[in-house]
């Protein structure tokens, strides 16, 4: 490997630093004993203590996990079905369907948020859990379909043909061949949609009703009512969750990648 120019190395180091400074500040300040501001008054865990004794925090966390789980599950069921259906389809509508699938992933979230809000109000669906779950499906479902289709396209069709030659009907083929082969993509899609749903603020902000506060909404209302170190503690915990999430999915990929290559050799 040729050596990289020093200018580039230093500038990328600076960019990485830029990416991490705010996160570090957040974590350091969450251990700060001071009530206000950035003045260091000694190490303390009291903001974490305050946080875990706050019932609203647990309620919001539970809501978030519940919503993410349901919308991920729904997207997985409908998404796998839709992806398999679309892959067999060569209709004239396909380009339009493809565009319709990518559109919710491309346009700014705020547009989806207001469009959903108007739709729910016009249809007179009360805002709450149902609307948040439906709202999250608007991005989870296309994400799942796109990821599953990418995997489907790489599958070797001879597997399915072989099963059919051995007398399997199309249901058997789906259950014993296609779905197991899709498993890595399904796990990946589920992880991704779960995380995105857990993190989503903008869409949730528009379609949430009373009593359905999610964790990001809670963070937002805490920020709006004033900067307290309790938010720092909560934010630091959320950073930790995302580090674990990225690390976890990376290890899963490493492991499943190895399993796949082993089974192929």
Partner 1 sequence: MFVVSWISRGPYGGLDWTWTGENYVRLLDSLVLGIFLKSFGYALGTTLVCGLLGFPLAYCIARSSKSWQQWLLILVMIPFWTNFLVRTYAWVLIFRADGVVNGFLKILGQDPISLLFTDFSVCVGLVYGYLPFMVLPLVSALERIPIQVEEAARDLFATRLEALWHVVVPLSRPGWVAGSVLVFIPSLGAFITPYLLGGGQSLMIGTLIQQEFLVARDWPFGAALSFGLMAVILMLWGWLGRKPEEQSMI
Closer CB to partner 1, 128 or 160, in the complex: 128
SS3 at position 43: strand
Q: What does R_g of the chain's alpha carbons equal in angstroms?
A: 23
Closer CB to partner 1, 142 or 163, in the complex: 142
Closer CB to partner 1, 19 or 166, in the complex: 19
Closer CB to partner 1, 13 or 45, in the complex: 13
Least distance in angstroms from the C-beta of 80 to partner 1 = 17
User: Rounded CA gap, 101 and 78, in Å?
Assistant: 13
Least distance in angstroms from the C-beta of 177 to partner 1 = 28
Closer CB to partner 1, 13 or 162, in the complex: 13
Give the burial class of 52: count Cβ atoms within 10 A of its Cβ; 0-12 exposed, 13-18 middle, 19 or more buried. exposed
Closer CB to partner 1, 185 or 207, in the complex: 207
Least distance in angstroms from the C-beta of 56 to partner 1 = 17
Least distance in angstroms from the C-beta of 210 to partner 1 = 14
CA angle at residue 73 from 56 to 202, to 5 degrees? 50
Least distance in angstroms from the C-beta of 203 to partner 1 = 11
Sign of CA dihedral 167, 173, 175, 181: positive
Least distance in angstroms from the C-beta of 101 to partner 1 = 8
Kindly report each contact of residues 75-78 with a partner whose C-beta sits within 8 Å and lies 24 or more positions away, as own/partner: 75/137, 75/140, 75/141, 75/143, 75/144, 75/189, 75/193, 76/144, 76/186, 76/189, 76/190, 76/193, 78/141, 78/144
Chain residues binding partner 1 by CB under 8 A are 1-2, 4-5, 7-9, 11-12, 15-16, 18-23, 25-26, 29, 36-39, 96-97, 100-104, 106-112, 114-119, 121-122, 138, 141-142, 195, 199, 201-202, 206, 216, 219-220, 223, 227, 231-232, 235, 238-239, 242-243, 245-247, 250
Sign of CA dihedral 29, 35, 40, 43: negative
CA nearest neighbour of 86 among 171, 145, 161, 137: 145
Least distance in angstroms from the C-beta of 233 to partner 1 = 12
CA nearest neighbour of 70 among 196, 224, 197: 197
Closer CB to partner 1, 181 or 202, in the complex: 202
């Amino acid at each position: 490997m040729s050596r990289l120019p020093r200018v580039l190395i230093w500038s990328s180091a600076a960019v990485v630093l830029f990416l991490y400074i705010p996160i570090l500040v957040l974590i350091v300040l969450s251990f700060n004993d001071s009530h206000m501001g950035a003045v260091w008054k000694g190490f303390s865990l009291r903001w974490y203590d305050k946080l875990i004794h706050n019932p609203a925090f647990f309620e919001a966390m539970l809501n978030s996990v519940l919503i993410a789980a349901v919308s991920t599950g729904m997207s997985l069921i409908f998404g796998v079905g839709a992806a398999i259906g679309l892959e067999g389809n060569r209709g004239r509508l396909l380009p339009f369907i493809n565009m319709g699938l990518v559109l919710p992933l491309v346009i700014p979230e705020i547009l989806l948020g207001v469009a959903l809000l108007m739709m729910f109000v016009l249809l007179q669906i009360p805002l709450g859990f149902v609307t948040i779950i439906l709202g999250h499906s608007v991005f989870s479902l296309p994400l799942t379909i796109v990821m599953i289709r990418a995997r489907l396209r790489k599958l070797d069709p001879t597997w399915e043909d072989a099963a059919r030659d051995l007398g399997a009907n199309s249901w058997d083929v789906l259950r014993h061949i296609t779905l197991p082969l899709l498993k890595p993509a399904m796990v990946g899609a589920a992880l991704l949609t779960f995380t995105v749903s857990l993190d989503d603020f903008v869409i949730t902000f528009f379609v949430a009703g009373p009593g359905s506060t999610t964790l990001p909404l809670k963070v937002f209302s805490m920020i709006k009512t004033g900067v307290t170190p309790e938010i720092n503690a909560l934010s630091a915990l959320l950073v930790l969750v995302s580090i674990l999430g990225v690390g976890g999915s990376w290890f899963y990929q490493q492991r499943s990648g190895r399993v796949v290559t082993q089974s192929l050799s």
